[in-house]
Structure 1
Amino acid sequence: FFSVSVTMLLFIYLVLFLCLTHSSPALVTVPVLKTQHQRLPNADRFGEIRVHRTQMIPYTIVHIGTPPRPYKMTLDTGSSDFILPAFQLKTCPKWKLYNPNASSTSKRTTCLLSNTCTFSITYGSGNTDTGVVVVDQLSFESDGKFFMASDIWIGVLLKEVPQRNWCNGADGTFGLGFDSDTVSGFPGPVTPIAHSLGVPNVFGLYVGSRAGAPDGALTIGGVDRRLFTGRIHYVPTIWQGKYAVAIHALTIGDYPVVSGVEQFGHCQIDSGTTLSYIPEAAYRRIQYVLRVHYCHLAVFSVFCEHKNRAMFIEDDMPCVRGVQYPKGYPVFYWQLDGRYSVAVPPEAYLKQQPNPSNSSESHFCFGIRPLTDNQELLQGDSILGDTFMAATYVVFDRDRKQIGFAVPTRVPVLHAEAPDDHNTVRRTEGRITSGPTLAEVAILLSLCIAVIVSATVARQKPRQQVCPLPHESNPASSYGAI
Structure 2
Amino acid sequence: MRLWSTTTLCSLVASASCIVAANAAGAFRIPIHKNTHYRPNTRARAFKTLKKYGHHNRLRARDFGRQPITDVENDVEYYGIVGIGTPPQMFKLDMDTGSSDLWVPSMKCDHHKCKLHSRFDPSMSSTVTELGTPWKIAYGDGSTVSGHLAIDRLEFSEITIPNQLFGMADRESSAFLEDVVDGVFGLGFPGLSALVMEDAAGAERLVNGPISDTVLGSIMSHELIPAPIFGVWLGNGDGPANDPNGGDGEFIFGSIDTTRFEGDLTYLPITHPKFWQVKVQGVMLDGVEMSGIHGETIIDTGTTLLVFPIAQAKKVNKAIGAKSDPWEGWILPCDSNQDGSIDFVMGGKTFSVRRKDLVREKVKTNPGYCYSAVTATPGDVMVFGDVFIRNNYCVFDVENMSVGIAPIRR
TM-score in terms of structure 1 length: 0.63
Cα contact 1:76–1:177 (8 A) shared by 2 = yes
Matches within 5 A, 1:247-326: 247-259=280-292, 263-290=293-320, 300=321, 302=323, 315-318=328-331
Instruction: Please tell me the residue identity of whatever aligns with 1:179.
Output: P
Tell me the residue number matched to 1:157. Answer: 169
Tell me the residue number matched to 1:350. Answer: 359
Please give the secondary structure, in 2, of the residue aligned with 1:120: strand
Please give the secondary structure, in 1, of the residue aligned with 2:175: coil
Tell me the residue number matched to 1:189. Answer: 215
CA–CA separation in structure 1 for the residues paired with 2:230 and 2:78:
15
Structure 1, residues 399-457: CA drift from partner, whole Å, max 9, x if none? 211111011124xxxxxxxxxxxxxxxxxxxxxxxxxxxxxxxxxxxxxxxxxxxxxxx
Cα contact 1:56–1:211 (8 A) shared by 2 = no
Structure 1, residues 272-327: CA drift from partner, whole Å, max 9, x if none? 1111211122123224433xxxxxxxxx3647xxxxxxxx99842425669xxx76
Tell me the residue number matched to 1:397. Answer: 397
Tell me the residue number matched to 2:63. Answer: none
Cα contact 1:78–1:177 (8 A) shared by 2 = yes
Q: Verify: 1:204 aligned to 2:220, yes or no.
A: no
Cα contact 2:323–2:330 (8 A) shared by 1 = no
Cα contact 1:350–1:387 (8 A) shared by 2 = no
Cα offset, 1:366, TM superposition: 1.6
Cα offset, 1:57, TM superposition: 3.4
Instruction: Please tell me the residue identity of whatever aligns with 1:132.
Output: H
CA–CA separation in structure 1 for the residues paired with 2:126 and 2:298:
39
Cα offset, 1:88, TM superposition: 4.0
Query: % of aligned pairs identical?
Result: 23
Tell me the residue number matched to 1:453. Answer: none
Structure 1, residues 20-53: CA drift from partner, whole Å, max 9, x if none? 9799533211112343365535857333269976
Structure 1, residues 347-406: CA drift from partner, whole Å, max 9, x if none? 4333357x999xxxx9953210122xxx4xxx2221111222211111111121111101
Cα contact 2:308–2:381 (8 A) shared by 1 = yes
Q: Verify: 1:75 aligned to 2:95, yes or no.
A: yes
Instruction: Please tell me the residue identity of whatever aligns with 1:190.
Output: L
Please give the secondary structure, in 1, of the residue aligned with 2:218: helix
Instruction: Please tell me the residue identity of whatever aligns with 1:329.
Output: D
Cα offset, 1:104, TM superposition: 0.9
Structure of higher RCO (CA pairs closer than 8 Å, 6+ residues apart): 1
Aligned CA distance change for structure 1 residues 66 and 318 (closer, same or farther; 3 Å): same
In structure 1, runs of 5+ residues without a counterpart are 1-16, 110-115, 142-146, 291-299, 304-311, 411-482
CA–CA separation in structure 1 for the residues paired with 2:23 and 2:386:
35
Aligned CA distance change for structure 1 residues 317 and 183 (closer, same or farther; 3 Å): same
Cα contact 1:239–1:266 (8 A) shared by 2 = no
Instruction: Please tell me the residue identity of whatever aligns with 2:217.
Output: T
Q: Verify: 1:409 aligned to 2:409, yes or no.
A: yes
CA–CA separation in structure 2 for the residues paired with 1:396 and 1:227:
15
Matches within 5 A, 1:221-260: 221-259=254-292
How well do the aligned residues superpose, as a CA RMSD in angstroms? 3.5
Please give the secondary structure, in 2, of the residue aligned with 1:281: helix
Select which of 185, 204, 209 maps to 1:174.
185
Aligned CA distance change for structure 1 residues 229 and 124 (closer, same or farther; 3 Å): farther
Cα contact 1:34–1:211 (8 A) shared by 2 = no
Instruction: Please tell me the residue identity of whatever aligns with 2:93.
Output: M
Instruction: Please tell me the residue identity of whatever aligns with 2:90.
Output: P
Cα contact 1:74–1:174 (8 A) shared by 2 = yes
Cα contact 1:348–1:390 (8 A) shared by 2 = no
CA–CA separation in structure 2 for the residues paired with 1:89 and 1:255:
52
Tell me the residue number matched to 1:332. Answer: 342
Select which of 104, 124, 134 maps to 2:126.
104
Q: State which structure, 1 or 2, has the greater radius of gyration over its C-alpha atoms.
A: 1
Please give the secondary structure, in 1, of the residue aligned with 2:195: coil
Select which of 142, 146, 163 maps to 1:130.
146
Cα offset, 1:171, TM superposition: 0.8
Cα contact 1:106–1:137 (8 A) shared by 2 = yes
Please give the secondary structure, in 2, of the residue aligned with 1:117: strand
CA–CA separation in structure 2 for the residues paired with 1:92 and 1:211:
35
Tell me the residue number matched to 2:5. Answer: none
Cα contact 1:82–1:154 (8 A) shared by 2 = yes
Instruction: Please tell me the residue identity of whatever aligns with 2:120.
Output: Y
Cα contact 2:317–2:330 (8 A) shared by 1 = no
In structure 2, runs of 5+ residues without a counterpart are 1-16, 59-69, 197-211, 240-245
Cα offset, 1:211, TM superposition: 10
Aligned length: 345
Cα offset, 1:54, TM superposition: 8.2
Please give the secondary structure, in 1, of the residue aligned with 2:316: helix
Aligned CA distance change for structure 1 residues 336 and 124 (closer, same or farther; 3 Å): farther
TM-score in terms of structure 2 length: 0.73
Q: Verify: 1:120 aligned to 2:126, yes or no.
A: no
Cα offset, 1:103, TM superposition: 0.8
Cα contact 2:101–2:193 (8 A) shared by 1 = yes
CA–CA separation in structure 1 for the residues paired with 2:153 and 2:102:
12
Please give the secondary structure, in 1, of the residue aligned with 2:265: strand
CA–CA separation in structure 2 for the residues paired with 1:165 and 1:172:
8
Select which of 53, 58, 61 maps to 1:45.
53
